[in-house]
Amino acid sequence: MAWKANCRVSAPCDQGTDEQVEEHDQVGSAVRDQAIELLFGALARDERGEPCGTIACQDDPTSHYANVWTRDNVGPMLFFLRYDPSIVGLFLDALIRRQSRLRRTYGLMPIGFSPRYDAVDYGGEEAIGAVHSVDSTLWFVILVGLFVETTQDLDWLRARREALEAALGLLVAPRFDPLPLMAAPESVTEIDRPAGLYGYPLQLQVLLALALRWAARLLDYLEAGSEIGAWCRLEAEALQSWINRWYWIDRQTVDDRELLAPEGHGKDNPNPFNIDYSRLRPAIATLPPGCGYLGGTLRTRHLDTRLWPFPNLLAAVSGILSEPRIEALMGGIAARWEDLIGCMPVTVCWPSLTGPNYEIWMDGDARARPGSYHNGGHWPYILWSFVAACLASGRGELATRALAVASSGLPPFWAEFYDSEGHPGLNARTRQTWSIAGYLVADEALRSGIEAFWQVRLVPQGGWLVAAAPGPLQQER
């Protein structure tokens, strides 16, 4: 199958060396052909006969896995952005047609939808349990940003202004919280069952920071100097700084904060979440010197010390983490290769919860027993972010190593997730689309690099920000 990129707008960066691509190609090119065929097989068409995204898996046609899930389409859309951006535009339009116009959820994007009719699934009626998705709306804004940046189609953007602003309304609405972080209950992202992540889950903060950056950029296109655009920019910066300051875990953090009282209050409290940092010692004892990572969630008295690779890697590829921190993260992952990559890249979190923690936080969920599903299962959808972060940090050899593991382990099942022996996990679906796309985008990143626009930083330019942002908004930082 001959594939030609018909769109390459921003300079690609951080690709593998010729030797690395050659090494990967020995097995990878055949696997890639198979993956491309499978990905196109997953394309769903709406009642008008137009593509409207990809279904979650091809082997379970009667369940909700035959729906188009918003988050499951991120990997596929990253691939189509390069090869056929029109599919991305159609997917975004399919979401817009189903965007909530109800008062309580105005602007919310569905967790997923059935391609056959314009039915909406805001509250997770067709998902597992009463799960509502927050990540769908955040991914929507990010994908609109990537689509517009790729196509430069500002007419397309102007015609969707109302939908974009409705989604942004949810990001910038006043809430019961003075922090720039976004609080959430369990299950609002792909970890859609209890996992002890309630509070301020890392994944949401990273996606929110990216969505706010893209919102600021898109609003610049629509109306340069708008007040709301300036607000998004400030919020993105504040969030980035909170993520770096309060989620980062390494030896230094614990050494510096161990003696802080975990009972302070007020705006000058040096330990705003009242964490007892001495309790992080066992976790950092397992970290190789010089390594670190962002913890999984924050809430009062609690910083989750499990490593959740996906939000960490997203923070790395999008420049939320500084270069030394990306190195510290990738060094830690390389040192824990067997646990984090093992027979299939990449584990969703490490270590798994066991004993009473598993019983209480995961409610003893049989599917999520230690080492399985959201409790340490290995999920190929994370692969693209791993390979991109390897390349961004000059660790191309890790990227080819992970791709080699995936190339030999993914076919023929292309399962939703795997156990630590590399077998499809308990009740895992097969021919799972985001597993297929995770491989394809990783393969593409090694061959041609990741687009520079992942790095969009939106550093305030000159006096523009100061002139545009009204005083009261700034004073709240």
Task: List residues binding ligand GLC (CB under 6 A).
Answer: 56, 65, 69, 71-72, 128, 190, 192
Closest approach, Cβ 269 to ligand GLC, in A, equals 36
Closest CB to ligand GLC among residues 65, 246: 65
Closest CB to ligand GLC among residues 63, 474: 63
Closest CB to ligand GLC among residues 72, 235: 72
Would you say 70 and 91 are in contact if contact means Cβ atoms under 8 Å apart? no
Closest approach, Cβ 374 to ligand GLC, in A, equals 7
Burial 37-60, CB ≥16 within 10 A → b, else e: ebbeebbbebeeeebbbbbbbbeb
Closest approach, Cβ 71 to ligand GLC, in A, equals 5
Closest approach, Cβ 100 to ligand GLC, in A, equals 19
Quote the CA–CA distance of 21 and 343 in Å, as a whole number.
21
Closest approach, Cβ 371 to ligand GLC, in A, equals 16
Tokens of 38: 């499978």
First-to-last alpha carbon distance for the chain, in angstroms, is 53
Burial tier of 343 (Cβ tally within 10 Å: 0-12, 13-18, 19+): middle
Burial 103-129, CB ≥16 within 10 A → b, else e: eebebbbbbbbbbeeeebbbbbebbee
In this structure, the number of other CB atoms found within 10 A of the CB of residue 457 comes to 11
Closest approach, Cβ 127 to ligand GLC, in A, equals 6
Closest CB to ligand GLC among residues 71, 395: 71
Would you say 87 and 138 are in contact if contact means Cβ atoms under 8 Å apart? no
Closest approach, Cβ 190 to ligand GLC, in A, equals 3
Would you say 219 and 229 are in contact if contact means Cβ atoms under 8 Å apart? yes
Closest CB to ligand GLC among residues 242, 439: 439
The residue number whose beta carbon is nearest to ligand GLC equals 190
Closest CB to ligand GLC among residues 15, 433: 433
Closest CB to ligand GLC among residues 192, 419: 192
Nearest Cα to Cα of residue 313 among 429, 393, 221: 393
**Continuous H helices in 226-288:** 227-246, 251-257, 281-285
- Concatenating the DSSP letter of every residue in 325-381 gives HHHHHHHHHHHTHHHHTTTSS-BSSBSPP-HHHHHHHSTT-GGGSTTBTTBB-B-GG
Closest CB to ligand GLC among residues 72, 304: 72
Closest approach, Cβ 317 to ligand GLC, in A, equals 20
Closest CB to ligand GLC among residues 382, 390: 382
Closest approach, Cβ 332 to ligand GLC, in A, equals 25
Closest approach, Cβ 98 to ligand GLC, in A, equals 16
Tokens of 200: 């301020």
Closest CB to ligand GLC among residues 128, 466: 128
Closest approach, Cβ 128 to ligand GLC, in A, equals 5
Closest approach, Cβ 109 to ligand GLC, in A, equals 14
Closest CB to ligand GLC among residues 54, 253: 54
Closest CB to ligand GLC among residues 64, 82: 64
Closest CB to ligand GLC among residues 300, 427: 427
Give ∠ CA 185-190-193 in degrees, rounded to 5: 55
Quote the CA–CA distance of 60 and 44 in Å, as a whole number.
14
Instruction: Indicate the pairing of strand 450-451 with strand 293-294.
Output: unpaired
Question: Which positions ≥6 away from 189 have C-beta within 8 Å?
Answer: 71, 133, 134, 135, 201, 203, 204, 207
Quote the CA–CA distance of 126 and 129 in Å, as a whole number.
8
Residue 12, φ and ψ in degrees, nearest 5: -70, 150
Would you say 376 and 349 are in contact if contact means Cβ atoms under 8 Å apart? yes
Question: Which positions ≥6 away from 108 have C-beta within 8 Å?
Answer: 99, 100, 122, 132, 136, 137, 167, 170
Closest approach, Cβ 39 to ligand GLC, in A, equals 15
